[in-house]
Amino acid sequence: MRFKGNKVWMAVDGEDRPLLEKGKALIKYQLDQPHQYRVRPENILSLDDAPPKPGAAAPVSGKKSGAPARRRPSAPTGIDASNGIPDDLQQKAILIYTDGACSGNPGPAGIGVVMNYKGHRKEISRYIGMATNNIAELEAIKTGLEAVKNRSLPVFLFSDSSYSLGLLTKGWKAKQNQELVESVRKLVNTFKNLRIIKIKGHAGHPENERADRLAVAAIKNAE
């Protein structure tokens, strides 16, 4: 689920309804973290239903205000982001799957990146220190894009972060992490043909799940 823009795990009963204690739902930012949080159930959304932040549609200028990138990538027609992309496009494009993980929020954080291009594969698992989940998601995207050597090639980047997608493709104003957001936006504009695509998290997509495991492993290996 999603709580205040962050991915979380929520305790449910046998019928997949929120498991409440004193009227509040139980959540964790990572399944293996020892503690859990009690939050109001009405503040928990599905990963695909997070609303845009207030003022998201208004264009903003200037580095400190988090100006939106001039190019706003969108999902190509005919692509089902939850199931990958057609074979003919896979043969032409670099495919990047990114994910960030955070044990607590903020807490120890890691990133995971899976890259595929014409049979070649690269995986990145890196600990980034103490950070928030949103920072980890952005850092994962930044790392994946920085690893592309030929930026004239078509690139499809898949992320399950509504926060990152809103900032990079919908013109959301960056109220936090402004320097990081601006650096990723500038990086996006160095690509000739880049599409950033929303993918449903923890829905069984093998590469998305692999990116998540790489991010979690980075945290565990740093302990």
Q: Is 99 a catalytic residue?
A: yes
3-state helix, strand, coil in the chain (%, to 5): 25, 30, 45
Does some domain include residue 196? yes
Does some domain include residue 65? no
144 touches 17 (CB < 8 A): no
29 and 123 together in one domain: no
Does some domain include residue 11? yes
Q: Return the higher-pLDDT residue of 42 and 191.
A: 191
15-21: average pLDDT:
78
155 alpha carbon, distance to own chain's centre: 16
Residue 186 makes CB contacts below 8 A (sequence gap 6+) with 69
Tally the domains of the chain. Answer: 2
Q: Is 202 a catalytic residue?
A: yes
Does some domain include residue 53? no
Among the listed residues 139, 182, 207, 212, the single catalytic one is 212
Among the listed residues 66, 84, 99, 110, the single catalytic one is 99
95 and 159 together in one domain: yes
pLDDT given at position 180: 97
Does some domain include residue 170? yes
Whole-model pTM: value is: 0.64
Half-sphere exposure of 166 (CA within 13 A, CB side): 21
pLDDT given at position 119: 86
Provide the token pair at 85: 């992309």
104 and 33 together in one domain: no
Q: Is 80 a catalytic residue?
A: no
Task: Give the tens place of pLDDT for each residue, 43-96.
Answer: 888 876 544 444 444 333 333 444 444 444 433 333 444 445 666 777 789 999
State which amino acid sits at residue 132: T
pLDDT given at position 55: 43
Among the listed residues 5, 110, 139, 160, the single catalytic one is 160
Helix/strand/coil for 115: strand
Provide the token pair at 149: 């050597």
98 and 26 together in one domain: no
Q: Is 120 a catalytic residue?
A: no
Does some domain include residue 57? no
Q: Is 212 a catalytic residue?
A: yes
pLDDT given at position 32: 65
Task: Give the tens place of pLDDT for each residue, 173-193.
Answer: 999 999 999 999 999 999 999
Task: Give the tens place of pLDDT for each residue, 101-149.
Answer: 999 889 999 999 999 998 899 999 999 999 999 999 999 999 999 999 9
Number of C-beta neighbours around residue 150 at 10 A:
9
190 and 139 together in one domain: yes
Domain range spanning residue 28? 2-45
Residue 62 makes CB contacts below 8 A (sequence gap 6+) with none
Q: What are the φ and ψ backbone dihedral angles of 136, each rounded to 5 degrees?
A: -60, -40
Among the listed residues 100, 110, 112, 144, the single catalytic one is 100
107 and 37 together in one domain: no
Q: What are the φ and ψ backbone dihedral angles of 87, each rounded to 5 degrees?
A: -60, -40
Q: Is 13 a catalytic residue?
A: no
Does some domain include residue 99? yes
Among the listed residues 66, 110, 112, 137, the single catalytic one is 137
Can you name the residues that pair with 26 across neighbouring β-strands? Answer: 38
Does some domain include residue 56? no
